[in-house]
A and B are shown apart, each in its own frame.
Chain A
């Protein structure tokens, strides 16, 4: 552990983002952090170390969730940043934008129940070595809220196989004992997948909301582990 560094966060705001303020507030709790709000029309990210794509309903979820936001001017800069190894985190709609843009594989389909689901879930952290998860030991379970209508992770068999072999599944829906059971899977995601990373491990997207559980007053601070990880 190298001690705490000062992280410069950039939070991208799309028309229809509604978790940008939660994300900014959560990120600014990582000690010494600075947070820059980046409007989706900007073509440069500025000097940032970590790019956060917040939750919400960018472009009203028209066509498919994230399908239009993925072509916002700022996404070209985000893609270049990610390709250079820059650290990117997509939360909920941010995750949907990352899969639509091809920065992460697969797709997020409507929940099997056809319902918008808003509740706390348990997650088993499979990777504790990413820039986004360094503050958590692999195997730990965290409690986080989900709030989505389209969180059903899908990938074709070959892609799913590759994800599992490469250890790209970062968080999985699980029960109280950390077991990824069918009952603990809220939306029908293949292999109980709640979040994945790219091969290099610098881009991570998840459906649950660490930004909604990073303050004691909210009754849960499990999400803070994610934001603190960036500073380690």
Chain B
């Protein structure tokens, strides 16, 4: 089963990369673009027990996201 995890910087934490991309968009003439934030997208293939929400949560907390600076969102492994 495939699961997608999206890791984002917590709000309030400065994202210099997002800022740089925002400036680049402005210089390309895409004015009116604001609040660019860049995160990570992680795709996992899971089998059996690992597909449980609790297990994926544990993976995120232990390794995939840093709870000090990042939030994460798990796209439902139970299939939409």
Contacts and interface: CB of A to CB of B under 8 A. Distances in A.
Of B13, B14, B66, the most chain A CB neighbours within 10 A belong to B66
A209 to B, nearest CB: 23
B46 interface: no
Interface in A1-17: none
B16 A155 contact: no
Given A67-B63, A71-B63, A114-B20, A155 B68 contact: yes
If over half of A's interface residues share one DSSP class (helix, strand or loop), that class is named, otherwise mixed; here it is loop
A63 B17 contact: no
A63 B68 contact: no
A81 B68 CA distance: 24
A56 interface: no
A110 interface: yes
Contact of B64 (A63, A100, A114): A63
Interface string B27-44: 000000000000000000
Interface of A: 63-64, 67-68, 71, 99-100, 106-107, 109-114, 154-156, 188
Given A106-B68, A111-B16, A112-B14, 11 more contacts: A63-B63, A64-B66, A67-B66, A99-B68, A107-B68, A107-B69, A109-B13, A114-B20, A154-B68, A154-B69, A156-B68
